[in-house]
Amino acid sequence: MRRLPGCLVGAIHASEGDEVGALIDAMAAVSGRIVWNDWPTGVAVTSAQHHGGPYPASTNSLHTSVGAHAIERILSPVSYQNFPARYLPYDLRS
């Protein structure tokens, strides 16, 4: 797991009974969002990535929400999408 590179989104495809706690922890350390049994969108952190549409996805007119400048705004929070409660960090369990 030490070689897992940083990424915007990580995906885990598993059954609810699978032991994936270590994988979730490793992905949370290098991902901004982790998707459970689903596919992430195709957004890349590259200079070529363009966020189209009539309105920018950022209030800063110099940068977009994706692409190379997005790295400068990356924070530590992680969102857990579609996860069974038993795999969520304790504070997020309902």
Please indicate, yes or no, if residue 27 is contained in any of the structural domains: yes
Residue 11 has pLDDT above 80, yes or no: yes
CA dihedral 17, 21, 23, 26 (to 10 degrees): 160
pLDDT > 70: percent of the chain: 60
Please indicate, yes or no, if residue 94 is contained in any of the structural domains: no
Please indicate, yes or no, if residue 12 is contained in any of the structural domains: yes
Would you call 24 exposed, middle or buried from its count of C-beta atoms within 10 A (0-12, 13-18, 19+)? buried
Q: How confident is the model at residue 93 (pLDDT cuts 50, 70, 90)?
A: confident
Record the pTM. 0.53
Residue 82: domain span: 7-88
pLDDT tens per residue, range 34-72: 999 998 877 666 666 665 554 555 555 565 556 666 666
Please indicate, yes or no, if residue 2 is contained in any of the structural domains: no
Please indicate, yes or no, if residue 22 is contained in any of the structural domains: yes
Please indicate, yes or no, if residue 93 is contained in any of the structural domains: no
Number of domains in the chain: 1
- Residue 37: phi and psi, rounded to 5, are 50, 45
- Establish how many alpha carbons lie within 13 A of residue 27's alpha carbon, considering only the half-sphere containing its beta carbon: 21
Token pair 């969108």: residue: 41
Average pLDDT, the chain: 76
